């Protein structure tokens, strides 16, 4: 099974696919140099396989590559950053307390 993550800029979301089937997404709003993550969903059919984590990491890696600051309003993305503190640097220092990071 081929897992891939794409940035659907027209839909303002990163999407994760298992082969050609959409397994989940994380919605974002981009404001200049900030990427605000709003909501993440994994289809229950694909649950328990770590796809949410792969999606979060890919989306955050893309933000890092583009030099974007991350605002993790989405509880899933915020929780993933909490478990992977090397990604906390993506959240502006002045915003980390706001997100509990």
- Closest by CA to 12, choosing from 99, 67, 74, is 74
Position of tokens 């990427």?
A: 35
pLDDT tens-digit series, residues 62-101: 999 999 999 999 999 999 999 999 999 999 999 999 999 9
pTM of the model: 0.94
């Amino acid at each position: 099974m081929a897992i891939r993550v794409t940035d659907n800029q027209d839909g303002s979301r990163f999407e994760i696919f298992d082969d050609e089937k959409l397994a989940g997404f994380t919605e974002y709003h981009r404001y200049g140099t900030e990427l605000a993550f709003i909501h993440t969903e994994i289809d229950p059919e694909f649950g328990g396989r770590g796809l949410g984590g792969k999606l979060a990491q890919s989306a955050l890696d893309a933000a890092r590559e583009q030099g974007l600051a991350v605002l993790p309003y989405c509880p899933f993305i915020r929780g993933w950053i909490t478990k992977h503190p090397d990604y906390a640097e993506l959240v502006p220092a002045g915003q980390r307390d706001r997100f509990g990071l």
